Structure 1
Amino acid sequence: MRVRRIRETRVNDLIPHRAFPEDVPISRDLNEVVSHKDILIFAVPSHAMRKVSREVNQVFKGPAPLILNISKGIESGTLLRMSEVIREEAHYPFRGIVTVSGPSHAEEVIKNQPTVLVAASKDENLSEEVQLLLMGDRLRVYRSNDIVGVELGGSLKNVIAIAAGISDGV
């Protein structure tokens, strides 16, 4: 029901002031959404990453894509970062994984406010490719080869902020 409404209106209720471009597929059919794409964007809650990665693995067809991870978190039980979960579950050829993280917030990007992101990968060419793809007048994208630090920083920043707030009040 929700997917049908988004397909018809090109608008998600969670982002009401921004329509999806016509060339962005909106479908419940995962095969249609991921197969034969140059870039696969993983933007799911961390608790669902393994399940979604397995489902993508089961249906993906096509040449080796670049995997772009924008999910934050550490998998409960395994303590794996999201790129590690994706890598563990992706049994199809892919060019590499780039993790994109803040210090921005999604609403800043959606509202076209000036903000900053980091594209992190062990492969400098891939992080540069993502930098060039995403960067615009109001979005600055820095590159990093420290994918571990970027992912852990994104996952732990709220815990650190709470601890800093508590210690400031002591």
Structure 2
Amino acid sequence: MKTKVAVLGGGSWGTALSVLLSKNDVDTGIWIRSKEQFEIMSNNRENPKYLPDIKLPKQLEISTDIDEILKERSIVVLAVPTNSVRELLVQLEGKIQKSQVIVNVAKGIENKSKKRISEIAREYFPDNDFVALSGPSHAEEVALDIPTTVVSASTNKKVAEYIQDVFSCSTFRVYTNPDVIGVELGGALKNIIALGAGISDGLGYGDNTKAALMTRGIYEMSKLGVALGADPDTFSGLSGIGDLIVTCTSMHSRNRRAGILIGKGLSMEKAVEEIGMVVEGIKTTKSTYELAGDIGVEMPITKELYNVLYNGADVRESVGKLMGRSMKHEMEIVAKNKKTSW
């Protein structure tokens, strides 16, 4: 029986995955909330706002009727921004069967609850298998069949492998990983560091600065991850350092582009307005700063970015605070665990 997938959300990533799956000969339907966007996509077979110049396959079903799109679909892909996921899950109550696999592709931590998306999904659909699909994957490149690799993370190995099989093709390679916590956090937290990398670029700093931000950033990410039960090795993989590299260095990255604008003097609100799409890292900075405080994990880069975004701190002064922190061992955990003196 042919696999059928419902993609919920018509942004750049939801559209790119719908194109990918359709090319993979997967029966795919995409749900669009906006009637205006639906009309444009249906009539022109393009999504000019979020993924311009990419033709939508003829076989891709497009609809504003969520019940119709969900009908007989074995996989349901959540492709809306992080802080819209809960609203969507509420809308899905009573519409999803226990046999349907929920796949999330958003990367963030919910502001109000400070929960990962798998935790939110468990509140509404505790009996459904859940997969986090994450990694270094700009929608613009995936839609153009540029070679890309990502991770399918689930506590159920067979389900992770099922999603691996459905999404994989000659230009989209999917690995599996049991560490849902680590994969979700890697995808969310790298957006914070990408904002910082963009700010650094906007200030006119160089490669040395960006390398420092990325390296210390992955250390911060792994510290919080370990405290929350993630496997530290996950942060050395595609959903950790891989996604961090692509998001901190590419102009496809909304987070980096927003950071550049902030570094050049624009306010957070003006930067988001100019980007014209959701910048996940801005809200995730707030969630992560509060979460780190709640569990007692020190995250200096996240703290200074929070102060810049939400307390109006001067960006250059925040850089000075990071550079002027007390001296310490590069690998604090390693230093504490050393049996020999040094």
SS at match of 1:98: strand
**Deviations 1:94-150 (CA, angstroms, capped at 9, x unpaired):** 3x0111001222222111111110000001111111111111112111100001000
State which of 7, 17, 20 in structure 1 corresponds to 2:56: 20
Contact 1:35 1:62 in 2 (8 A): no
Q: Distance in 2 between matches of 1:20 and 1:61?
A: 26
Q: Distance in 2 between matches of 1:87 and 1:121?
A: 13
Q: Distance in 2 between matches of 1:38 and 1:10?
A: 25
Contact 1:121 1:127 in 2 (8 A): yes
Q: Distance in 1 between matches of 2:137 and 2:52?
A: 20
Q: Distance in 1 between matches of 2:98 and 2:60?
A: 19
Shift of 1:4: 1.5
Pairing 1:37–2:70 present: no
Pairing 1:132–2:165 present: yes
Structure (1 or 2) with the greater helix fraction: 2
Q: RCO greater where, 1 or 2, for CA within 8 Å and sep 6 or more?
A: 1
Pairing 1:47–2:80 present: no
Q: Distance in 1 between matches of 2:78 and 2:72?
A: 16
Pairing 1:100–2:133 present: yes
Shift of 1:9: 2.0
Q: Structure 1 stretches of 5 or more lacking a match?
A: none
SS at match of 1:117: strand
Which amino acid is 2:101 matched to? L
Pairing 1:84–2:119 present: yes
Q: Structure 2 stretches of 5 or more lacking a match?
A: 1-35, 198-208, 214-318, 324-342
Q: Distance in 1 between matches of 2:58 and 2:97?
A: 22
Instruction: Determine which structure has more spread, i.e. the larger CA radius of gyration.
Output: 2
Closer, same or farther: CA 87–24 of 1 in aligned 2, 3 Å? farther
**Deviations 1:25-70 (CA, angstroms, capped at 9, x unpaired):** 2111111122321110100001100001111114x15562111111
TM-score (norm: length of structure 1): 0.87
Contact 1:36 1:63 in 2 (8 A): no
Q: Distance in 2 between matches of 1:11 and 1:109?
A: 15
What's the counterpart of residue 331 of structure 2?
A: none
State which of 170, 184, 187 in structure 2 corresponds to 1:154: 187
Q: Distance in 2 between matches of 1:141 and 1:61?
A: 25
Shift of 1:22: 3.3
Q: Distance in 2 between matches of 1:135 and 1:65?
A: 19
Pairing 1:143–2:188 present: no
Shift of 1:158: 2.4
SS at match of 1:22: coil
Which amino acid is 2:53 matched to? H
Q: Distance in 2 between matches of 1:141 and 1:166?
A: 27
What's the counterpart of residue 115 of structure 1?
A: 148
Q: Distance in 2 between matches of 1:104 and 1:138?
A: 11
Shift of 1:2: 1.8
Q: Distance in 2 between matches of 1:138 and 1:167?
A: 32
